[in-house]
Structure 1
Amino acid sequence: MKISLQLKLGQQLTMTPQLQQAIRLLQLSTLDLQQEIHQALESNPMLEVDESQDADGSDASFDNDSSESNSQSDSGKDKSSNNSDDTGDSFAEQSSSDASYEASGDESHWEDSIPEQLTVDTNWDDIYQNSYTSGSPAPDNDEFESRDAASESLQDHLLWQLNLTTMSDTDRLIAMAIIDAVDANGQLSASLDSILEGLQEHLEIEEDEVLAVLHRIQHFDPVGVAARDLSECLLIQLNQVPETMVNDAIRNARTLVKDHLPLLGNRDYAQVMRLTRLKEPELRDAIAIIEKLDPRPGADIAPSSATYIVPDVFVTKDPRSGRWRVELNPETAPKLRINADYASLVKRSENSTDNNYLRDNLQEARWFLKSLQSRNETLLKVASRIVEHQQGFLEKGEEAMKPLVLHDIAEAVEMHESTISRVTTQKYMHTPRGIFELKYFFSSHVSTAGGGECSSTAIRALIKKLVVAENPRKPLSDSKITQLLEEQGINVARRTIAKYRESLSIPPSNERKRLV
């Protein structure tokens, strides 16, 4: 075997730590990004919050012609390296110009013109700043703390009432075992036999004793808690009505809940009226009373914690020009800059420990700020393209939503689809029609009779509109909805209609039937 030296020329993408940081910042949500910035400020002495500039002090907004050239200059390298992730190429290209990007504030790189065909106004106030700034003043420290306050659980609520109730020691132990078996909705999750079997290991008790304690707990607040099934839960609530106020409607409601609840759940009103010998007005009054009852009495005691959403992008319509304006939320991140005093201490020719520490932190600070800037640029470019494509939704609603996939936006901004996926995940847009995740504006398409395309989101909106306008006595079946959409030129299979209907939490036609 002969040993030889060979020279080869090739290309490869290297995932440097700086590139990994840029990609990671790109996919962070707003709250996660704030925490990341907070940690960077604490760990890197070269970074500081720029409190000298007002959040709205810079008004460098651009018109329709001001977003695409930057899209091309910042991401023109995205399509290289043998179909590799274009985000990496974009950030790698930015890293090559780090030496020329100094605190002197050279902004010639960002002053390219934008093609005129873009019909969306874009505000770059929060991106192109003098020095190393990004975003707005630092948020209060409270924003980095958890907003979820500790709430009382259903078990705590029941135990509190138990402590105020006079009971023997044995009954109290039985009550605690029953309360422990109550789920979050207030229903008993274990059978009486299993509870009795567990208690008999320590107590000499009979089933009647457990049943007596169960009945007492079922009248705790909320009434109907610890019920063994839905029928018992509703019947307990109906039995709470004082006898002086009981009328025929309440008696009929008790009969329906006790003996005919499955038929009532299936909307088989004809069979119910035949078995109970009730007239339609009497059945309607009884159903009205049942619908006011709470099938999950424990759910309101410890409601699920609210999730707060901070929009990353604001979309508004200029009343004078009629154009849609896209701008970053200035509250999503504090304005950062390099600490000039510490940066001046770095001596290029000295290799002492202190100087190396300052030099390393200065380089890390520069990369962090460039990663933040690149994140804002990419987010604004993608949001602008989405708004340009979905202006019909902003003006007319869901029925005007157009089909859109990641590839369409990726091609428009000259980036890879994986980059668009990162940008649109956990990023939110505030529009006049509400706050939506950027992924909401992407949907598949369905062919129309005229050869066009219709968005699946628009089809869902049409299904919801048809169901709202249907006759409650004769709800529209999935086949009928398919036929009505075909009359509008939209060809959708019945199983597709069923899938869309279920995604909207709309029950089937037999469960939507009502007595008018």
Structure 2
Amino acid sequence: MALAARLELRQGQGLVITPQLQQAIKLLQMSNLELEAFVEAELERNPLLQRDERDHEPEEAPAEAPVAEAAADRIDDSTARADLDAAHDAASPGELATGDAPAQAAGEAGGAVDWSRAGKGGGFEGDADGLDGLLAHEKSLAEHLHDQVAVAGLSPAEAAVAQVLIDSVDEGGYLRADLEEIAERLGCGLPLVEQVLGVLHGFEPVGVGARDVRECLALQLKDRNRYDPAMAALLDNLPLLARRDLAALKRVCGVDDEDLKEMIAELRGLTPRPGAAFGGEPAQPVAPDVFVREGPGGLWHVELNSETLPRLLVDQRYHAHVSGKARSDQEKTFVADCLAQANWLMKSLDQRAKTILKVSSEIVRQQDAFLAFGVEHLRPLNLKTIAEAIGMHESTVSRVTSNKYMATPRGVFEMKFFFTAAIASADGGEAHSAESVRHRIRQLIDAEAREEDVHSDDRIVEILKQAGVDIARRTVAKYREAMRIPSSVERRRMLKEAV
């Protein structure tokens, strides 16, 4: 068969994700901090974008039209909305994302949505305006140690070694560096590094600079003049103490029951993280994306936190100026691209806000019992349930709930918190949320006041089945271990010692 070159025309269909659609998808799953950084980058890159710093009160003739209005002049609204809806679900062909008004979504959710307050500052009435005052800078552990080096009377070489050692101390107060590596890096002998470390061990807080828990506790005991051979043997066998193997501890320490109880009580009075009392980096409070408030008649009001919503404008006056001055095709193309990208960005931000509000309203509708009565009434919920209720795809709901937080009367929760696995009901009724079952298990264990009251995992299974929860013993054990609750044998031991 002869080989020959030829031309063919073929017609086909394919999914093409443009850079604008990729941007819309990325915006949807960004947290408010990531979104802020992205908007800052766009402000620097696009000269037509400006931050809206007005008071959002109607004026006679604003110098700059809002981007949403400018976008309406350049892009057909229905076409842009269809493109953006497709963008949110472009990763999965055949997905459909609706763009209904948020008020309608909230109405279907059974809660009133206050969308009108989006430009007036989100939040609950009575929010603490002085929150930043609570984040005042506290002296860090490193600064505290550096201050002590300055008055320790060290030689210049010793002070240099001390600075390096302090820089290797973590927030808990532990030295996270190899002494030989430090000596080699500084070009000094290992004895000098060990000598300076000994000086560091004498600094406040006691126990700082330790390389493990045993050394940290030993330093604190030496400071109290309570480090004797029996206590040293106890520190050498901390795994036995963790397993509550008191018989073996008495043998290795050579003490009786009374002495061992006193030694354990003394260990409990020490701190395994001496640096925890010092301030580190300033605390970063979580800024919720959505506020949920209880309204009259038992309805829940859902509103976006306007403080996390970017406020941008397109400078139409500047656009008219530069477009009139453009002469070459390259300049005209650049100006046109900047305007189109600014318009698309604002459409994407608007759609992102509406989608977040729509998903949040449905979550509130599904979990209204939790908001009203507590965690025991948290219902089983998955992405598919929310997606079907609001006409979106699961991937869209997943993107919306990633790294987003909701402030409710019961606290601030990540949106993923409201999605829990279902545990079947023993009597065939409504399924139970895994989170609510974990809460019941903790309540049962917290109520154990005497050694006779301790419940085994099997007994907990029986109690839960009597309450209508069909759960396996291995599931109870898994939940208990996840909550770091000891086994029934260890809990009996602890209660016996407490008596």
Task: Name the TM-score class by shorter chain.
Answer: 0.7 to 0.9
Query: Distance between the aligned counterparts of 2:88 and 2:194, measured in 1?
Result: 72
Q: Of 449, 455, 468, which aligns to 2:433?
A: 455
Query: Distance between the aligned counterparts of 2:362 and 2:30, measured in 1?
Result: 21
Shift of 1:454: 1.1
Shift of 1:300: 3.9
Query: Distance between the aligned counterparts of 1:35 and 1:433, measured in 2?
Result: 30
- Per the alignment, in what secondary structure is the counterpart of residue 429 of structure 1? strand
Deviates more, 1:26-35 or 1:259-268: 259-268
Look up the match of 1:478: 457
Shift of 1:400: 0.8
Look up the match of 2:470: 491
Q: 1:185 to 1:355 in 2, by over 3 A?
A: closer
- Between the two proteins, the alignment pairs up a number of residues equal to 452
| 1:84 pairs with 2:93 | yes
Q: 1:235 to 1:317 in 2, by over 3 A?
A: same
Look up the match of 1:362: 339
Query: Distance between the aligned counterparts of 1:378 and 1:330, measured in 2?
Result: 15
Identity of aligned residues (%): 37
1:34 partner letter: E
Query: Distance between the aligned counterparts of 2:408 and 2:370, measured in 1?
Result: 10
Q: 1:161 to 1:450 in 2, by over 3 A?
A: same
Query: Distance between the aligned counterparts of 1:202 and 1:113, measured in 2?
Result: 72
1:454 partner letter: H
**1:396-425, CA deviations, whole angstroms, 9 ceiling, x for partnerless residues?**
221111111111111111111111111000
Shift of 1:381: 0.5
**1:114-168, CA deviations, whole angstroms, 9 ceiling, x for partnerless residues?**
79653111122267xxxxxx7869xxxxxxxxx99897555x6546534533467
Look up the match of 1:99: none
| 1:236 pairs with 2:219 | yes
Shift of 1:428: 0.7
Query: Distance between the aligned counterparts of 1:351 and 1:170, measured in 2?
Result: 65
1:118 partner letter: A
Q: Of 435, 438, 446, which aligns to 1:468?
A: 446
Query: Distance between the aligned counterparts of 2:102 and 2:157, measured in 1?
Result: 81
Q: 1:480 to 1:56 in 2, by over 3 A?
A: farther
Q: Can you give the 5+ residue segments of structure 1 that lack an aligned partner in the other structure?
A: 58-69, 95-108, 128-133, 138-146
2:314 partner letter: I
- Per the alignment, in what secondary structure is the counterpart of residue 432 of structure 2? strand
**1:37-90, CA deviations, whole angstroms, 9 ceiling, x for partnerless residues?**
233333334333444453899xxxxxxxxxxxx9xx97987999996163xx64
- Per the alignment, in what secondary structure is the counterpart of residue 406 of structure 2? strand
Contact 1:379 1:423 in 2 (8 A): yes
Deviates more, 1:177-186 or 1:12-21: 177-186
Shift of 1:277: 2.5
1:449 partner letter: A
Query: Distance between the aligned counterparts of 1:376 and 1:172, measured in 2?
Result: 55
Q: 1:252 to 1:327 in 2, by over 3 A?
A: farther
Q: 1:125 to 1:336 in 2, by over 3 A?
A: farther
- Per the alignment, in what secondary structure is the counterpart of residue 23 of structure 2? helix
Contact 1:256 1:264 in 2 (8 A): no
Q: 1:125 to 1:253 in 2, by over 3 A?
A: farther
- Per the alignment, in what secondary structure is the counterpart of residue 120 of structure 1? coil
Query: Distance between the aligned counterparts of 1:260 and 1:313, measured in 2?
Result: 50
1:368 partner letter: L
Q: Can you give the 5+ residue segments of structure 2 that lack an aligned partner in the other structure?
A: 60-77, 123-134
2:298 partner letter: G
Query: Distance between the aligned counterparts of 1:305 and 1:111, measured in 2?
Result: 36
Look up the match of 2:241: 264
Contact 1:85 1:418 in 2 (8 A): no
Contact 2:140 2:280 in 1 (8 A): no
1:219 partner letter: G
Shift of 1:33: 1.3
Q: 1:434 to 1:445 in 2, by over 3 A?
A: same
Higher helix share: 2
Contact 1:253 1:290 in 2 (8 A): no
Contact 1:135 1:334 in 2 (8 A): no
| 1:276 pairs with 2:255 | yes
Q: 1:388 to 1:180 in 2, by over 3 A?
A: closer
Query: Distance between the aligned counterparts of 1:267 and 1:37, measured in 2?
Result: 55
Shift of 1:375: 0.3
